[in-house]
Amino acid sequence: MTLAIFDLDNTLIAGDSDHLWGEFLIDQGIVDADGFKAANDGFFQDYQDGRLDIFAYQEFVLGVLKGRPLEELDRLRQRYMDTVIDSIWLPAAEQLIADHRERGHTLMIITATNDFITAPIAARLGVPMEWWVDPQLDAARQLRILDPGGTPLGLELFGYPSDTVLPTVLITDARGEICYVDLADNYRVRPEPATFLRVLDTMVPAPR
């Protein structure tokens, strides 16, 4: 199987869908222009600098929508697609995806932006959204990584349950054996990339 893996923002579309969503909310009068713009731009700069706290950002951008009827949110999102996303659409990206599809490649989009924004973009590109989930958190309970009430503020509005899992990282070798485990009790805590690289450097390469 051949994978064709694409980033979404500034690759398949000519802009950053998450930051532009914040600008759109300002233009629509949904949020305070000055205060929200300063915070939105600050988060965007953190992202460009490689130090974005993704959960803090999601609490910020999704929190302003909390309590609004889903019908209103759907209309807002469609207006965003029809105006903002249309303005940064790349026909060349559509053609590139079509070329890979004709070759029988499995298409994949990787993005850190929430699916409320990205799902309709992926649908328009013809790339199916695929989620690997543990809907009843049965595996989380068995592994003792359940985090009751740990879902970040605002995400419940979009159908996420209040319970989630503790941040967990596993690294396995080519035989499927676990070589590294990191478990945190705070969703903002993550190991530095250098930690992963040290583990990977000590692993024995798979036989060719």
Domain that holds residue 21: 3-125
What is the number of structural domains in the chain? 2
Among residues 125, 154, 170, the one where a domain terminates is 125
Write out the catalytic residue numbers.
7, 9
Tens digits of per-residue pLDDT, 116-166?
A: 899 999 999 998 766 655 767 888 888 888 888 887 666 666 556 788 888
- Its pTM stands at 0.62
Comparing CA positions, the residue from 44, 51, 21, 35 lying closest to residue 121 is 21
Q: For residues 109 and 8, state if they share a domain.
A: yes
